Amino acid sequence: MTKQERVQIIINRLNRLYPKPDIPLNHVNDFTLLVAVILSAQCTDKKVNEITPKLFKLASTPQQLAELGQPKIFELIKEIGLAKTKSIHLSKMSAIIEESFYGKIPNNFKDLESLPGVGHKTASVIMAQAFNIPSFPIDTHIHRLSQRWGLTNGQSVKQTEKDLKKLFPILLWNKLHLQIIYYGREHCTARGCDGTVCDICREIYPKRKQPVKTRKA
């Protein structure tokens, strides 16, 4: 089976399972999506969704979050990992957006990645889901599954993103990154599959017997 044949099987299966995947982080507008994505670093989406309602009730715009201030932000998010650092980033980030970008989230990678707490993955999520600009955010699930499916060697997250963008049609990127995340959480999990168990792994590699050793992101 060629790599492109595997790609088509993956697309077909994911479309059947997740025809219209929702963004797993609760939010009320594009700015709160950015906040939620920043909070999700090294933290589960479930935990983020538990703490953001109180935060967003008080502050759902850059101006409101900047006025809330770092100490109050910390108190509201202290249950999640790296809360102190994230509260500092959110306070500075919201002030910069309000002062330098007139309260609007920038819609390009350069400006997004200049914001405190916003790396390439976070910027990619915002470009894809807030602005509908084709991007392919790579998280741990996508990095792991791409190796199990023989789509990349997993040398780095940057290489995985580059390889997937070459293999999948650009119009599918924004949807695919959500589909693969859901599949990685529900079917091809870190411990539940080793490249020989889930339906997609078994279909695209029917003769595979040995577990696939994957490189971590």
Domain boundary among 111, 129, 147: 129
Q: Concatenated DSSP letters for 35-70?
A: HHHHHTTTS-HHHHHHHHHHHHHH--SHHHHHHH-H
**For residue 18, what is the DSSP state?**
-
pLDDT, tens digit, 9 for 90 and up, residues 107-140 = 999 999 999 999 999 999 999 999 999 999 999 9
Ramachandran angles phi, psi of 177, nearest 5°: -65, -35
| Residue 1, pLDDT score | 86
As to burial, measured by CB atoms within 10 angstroms (0-12 exposed, 13-18 middle, 19+ buried), residue 63 is middle
Whether residues 176 and 103 fall in one domain: no
Residue 209 forms part of a structural domain:
no
pLDDT, tens digit, 9 for 90 and up, residues 80-110 = 999 999 999 999 999 999 999 999 999 999 9
| Residue 21, pLDDT score | 97
Q: Which domain holds residue 146?
A: 3-20+136-204
Q: Which of the four pLDDT bands, split at 50, 70 and 90, describes residue 211?
A: very high
Whether residues 140 and 73 fall in one domain: no
Q: Into how many domains does the chain fold? A: 2
| Residue 216, pLDDT score | 84
pLDDT, tens digit, 9 for 90 and up, residues 189-204 = 999 999 999 999 999 9
Whether residues 122 and 172 fall in one domain: no
Residues 6+ apart with CB under 8 A from 26: 36, 49, 52, 53
Q: Which of the four pLDDT bands, split at 50, 70 and 90, describes residue 154?
A: confident
Whether residues 108 and 185 fall in one domain: no
Which amino acid, 171? L
Structure tokens at 115: 């914001």
First and final C-alpha spacing in the chain: 27
Whether residues 11 and 47 fall in one domain: no
Domain boundary among 63, 98, 129: 129
Whether residues 122 and 140 fall in one domain: no
| Residue 56, pLDDT score | 98
Domain boundary among 129, 146, 178: 129
Structure tokens at 49: 């969704």
Residue 217 forms part of a structural domain:
no
| Residue 49, pLDDT score | 97
pLDDT(147) > 90: yes
Whether residues 76 and 159 fall in one domain: no
pLDDT(207) > 90: yes
Whether residues 121 and 36 fall in one domain: yes
Residue 212 forms part of a structural domain:
no
In whole angstroms, what is the distance from residue 132 CA to residue 128 CA? 5
Whether residues 69 and 36 fall in one domain: yes
Residue 214 forms part of a structural domain:
no
- Domain holding 54: CATH number? 1.10.340.30
pLDDT(141) > 80: yes
Whether residues 98 and 175 fall in one domain: no
Q: Are 212 and 195 in contact (CB under 8 A)?
A: yes
Residue 54 forms part of a structural domain:
yes
- Domain holding 162: CATH number? 1.10.1670.10
Please identify every residue annotated as catalytic.
Answer: 121, 139
Structure tokens at 105: 């989230």
| Residue 217, pLDDT score | 76
Whether residues 46 and 102 fall in one domain: yes
Residue 97 forms part of a structural domain:
yes
pLDDT, tens digit, 9 for 90 and up, residues 30-89 = 999 999 999 999 899 999 999 999 999 999 999 999 999 999 999 999 999 999 999 999
How much is the pTM? Answer: 0.93
Identify which of 52, 136, 197 has the alpha carbon closest to the alpha carbon of residue 189: 197
